Amino acid sequence: MFDDRTDAGERLADVLERRDVDADVVLAIPRGGLPVGRVVADRLGAELDVVVAEKLGAPGNPELAIGAVAGDGSVWLNDDLVDRLGVSSAYVERVREVEAENVREKVASYRGGTAVPQLEGERVVLVDDGIATGATAIACLRQIRNAGAAHVTLAVPVAPHDAESRLSGEFDTFVCVESPRGFGAVGQYYRSFGQVSNEEARAILESYEP
């Protein structure tokens, strides 16, 4: 169990340092990834910024991601899950439009309209407070790759035991503190897992000095 996102960031940073992971830029997935990312960026002496994506929730179960829409407008779908659930293309398009608008608002709020910072040739660590399906992480990782990052590390405090193999090919290095079997929800592994507000997230980003 992690006490909170700051504690999770400290423990994640410990593992990153033990594995000699270097970073020029730490990108956090807002909002929950920012308190974790701030600690990691501080420990690694890296810049802190954000990369945005929103999951596409399944019909009747919005917490189950059937895909994600990225800040650059691209969409990733879990085709196997879409087929297994019998999700219609009309539903996918409907939820894509809603979440694409949410992504545009977040990009405007955090980055002034540009999806990602300048990453050409940079060593990037992508941080979130945990992984469930991995849909949002995949959408973010692909934006980072498309921006020309030289090396990409996906770093999270907690993820299912098969996350590394399931997401292989999307990153160069995977770092995770806890990888339990029988994974439920990310919040189950935190004693305090309150929602991070937009104001809190922006304050973390704006006040950070490497």
Looking at the chain, the domain(s) classified CATH 3.30.1310.20 span 54-111
Q: What is the pLDDT of residues 64-113, one digit of tens each?
A: 999 999 988 889 999 999 999 999 999 999 999 999 999 999 898 888 87
Q: What is the arithmetic mean of pLDDT over 129-158?
A: 95
Q: What is the arithmetic mean of pLDDT over 38-47?
A: 97
pLDDT band at 184 (very low <50, low <70, confident <90, very high): confident
User: What are the backbone angles phi and psi of residue 6, rounded to the nearest 5°?
Assistant: -65, -45
Looking at the chain, the domain(s) classified CATH 3.40.50.2020 span 5-51+119-207
Helix spans in 45-197 (H)? 79-85, 89-111, 135-146, 163-166
Tell which CATH architecture fits domain 5-51+119-207: 3-Layer(aba) Sandwich (3.40)
Tell me the residue length of the chain: 210
Asked if 173 contacts 150 with a C-beta cutoff of 8 angstroms, the reply is no
Is CATH 1.10.238.10 the right assignment for the domain spanning 54-111? no
